[in-house]
Amino acid sequence: MSELTIQVTTVEPIEVFGTNDQNLRAIRDHFPKLSLIARGDRLKVIGSEEDIAVFVERFDQLLEHIQRYNELPRKVLDDIMGGAPDQDGPVEDSDVIVHGNAGIRVKARTRNQQRLVQAVRDHDMVFAVGPAGSGKTYTAVALAVKALKEKKVRRIILTRPAVEAGENLGFLPGDLREKLDPYLQPLYDALKDMIPAARLEEHLHTGVIQIAPLAFMRGRTLDHAFVILDEAQNATRPQLKMFLTRMGRSATFVITGDLTQVDLPRHMPSGLVAAISMLKDVDGISVIELNEKDIIRHELVTKVIQAFDELERSEEPTDRKG
């Protein structure tokens, strides 16, 4: 056993360790074989010499990032300190999809996310289904941004079904965009990680990037575009058929959804399961299934999903999938 004390002098310790040691706990998750004890501006590291050497190298990179960007997003912390845990083995650094804002390197962090990236490279239409937090939408948006930067497409089109949560859109305050933005906010959030604010606003203004509810796709031909339908489990069969037949030349379609979170009225079956069943063996179409191993949000998200799954399995199933 070896011991090393690191003194944090180049940045404020709270910027490294986080409020209530939130970042420190995340760092410990990446180095479970080491004992990490923080006191003020000092961090004591106890473990094997080999593990300590790797830790010191990555911790120095963490400090350099904070010095440069004055912030430490969780995505960056995970990236630098070793990436999100992956029970199927490590993900190589070559899997970076796009370099985002504040030093964020957006990459496939799990094996199934890697499979999603490869599927999009090899197919024009890809279905990605999995639980909340498994990175299906975020990875798809990163691939869209990459395609736009490399001029493989002329525009990005992001869409979701605008399913009212007990309210009618007509009674919500504001203009049409203000009414719809709450439904589309997750797509904006992903884009803000990857494109500088001024450039993103320019793209939205000129239509290079379009974010709209699914109903607005009717009658359009979407060519030379990277098109993402998010939350597709909330699309009805006619809506999904309408969307899939909008595909034009030189287009890539990615359809994401979580079959456990259908918000449609009970009498209205989701079209996603039927679409996957009909199209999974069609040449040019790929179906990627993500699972709890791919969840890269807070570690409690995995536990919450497992608890709900166990409860649902113990209850009588309700036919919502169609």
Summarize pLDDT for 149-160 with one digit per residue, the tens: 999 999 999 998
- pLDDT tens digit sequence for 219-269: 999 999 999 999 999 999 999 999 999 999 999 999 999 998 888 888 888
- pLDDT tens digit sequence for 253-309: 999 999 988 888 888 889 998 999 999 999 999 999 998 888 766 666 667 877 887
153, 109: one domain: yes
Higher-pLDDT residue of 106, 39? 39
38, 173: one domain: no
Higher-pLDDT residue of 314, 87? 314
109, 238: one domain: yes
Structural domain ending residue among the three candidates 29, 56, 81: 81
Exposure string for 168-189, b = 16+ CB within 10 A, e = fewer: eeeeeeeeeeebbeebbebbee
DSSP 8-state class, residue 208 = S
Structural domain ending residue among the three candidates 81, 109, 129: 81
287, 233: one domain: yes
Band (pLDDT 50/70/90 cuts) for residue 43 is very high
Q: How many domains does the chain have?
A: 2
157, 39: one domain: no
Residue 59: inside a domain, yes or no? yes
Residue 119: inside a domain, yes or no? yes
pLDDT at residue 192 greater than cutoff 70 = yes
Supply 175's token pair.
């203009």
Residue 76: inside a domain, yes or no? yes
Residue 86: inside a domain, yes or no? no
Exposure string for 258-289, b = 16+ CB within 10 A, e = fewer: bbbebebeeeebbbbbebbeebeeeeebbbbb
Q: How far apart are CA 251 and CA 124, in angstroms?
A: 7
Residue 319: inside a domain, yes or no? no
185, 155: one domain: yes
pLDDT at residue 76 greater than cutoff 50 = yes
The DSSP result for 230-249, as a single string, is: -SGGGSBHHHHHHHHTTB-T
Band (pLDDT 50/70/90 cuts) for residue 170 is low
52, 106: one domain: no
Confidence at residue 297, expressed as pLDDT on a 0 to 100 scale: 62
- pLDDT tens digit sequence for 90-130: 445 556 888 888 777 788 878 899 999 999 999 999 999 99
List the domain range (segments joined by +) for residue 29: 2-81
Residue 215: inside a domain, yes or no? yes
pLDDT at residue 175 greater than cutoff 70 = no
Phi, psi of 192 (to 5 degrees): -65, -25
CATH of the domain at 274: 3.40.50.300
Q: How far apart are CA 221 and CA 14, in angstroms?
A: 51
Q: Which of 39-48, 80-89, 281-290, 297-306 shows the lowest mean pLDDT across its residues?
A: 80-89
CATH of the domain at 40: 3.30.1370.10
Structural domain ending residue among the three candidates 81, 111, 139: 81
259, 187: one domain: yes
Residue 139: inside a domain, yes or no? yes
Band (pLDDT 50/70/90 cuts) for residue 167 is very low
196, 53: one domain: no
98, 41: one domain: no
Name the average pLDDT for the chain. 85
135, 237: one domain: yes
Residue 158: inside a domain, yes or no? yes
| Residue located via tokens 């961090």 | 43
145, 211: one domain: yes
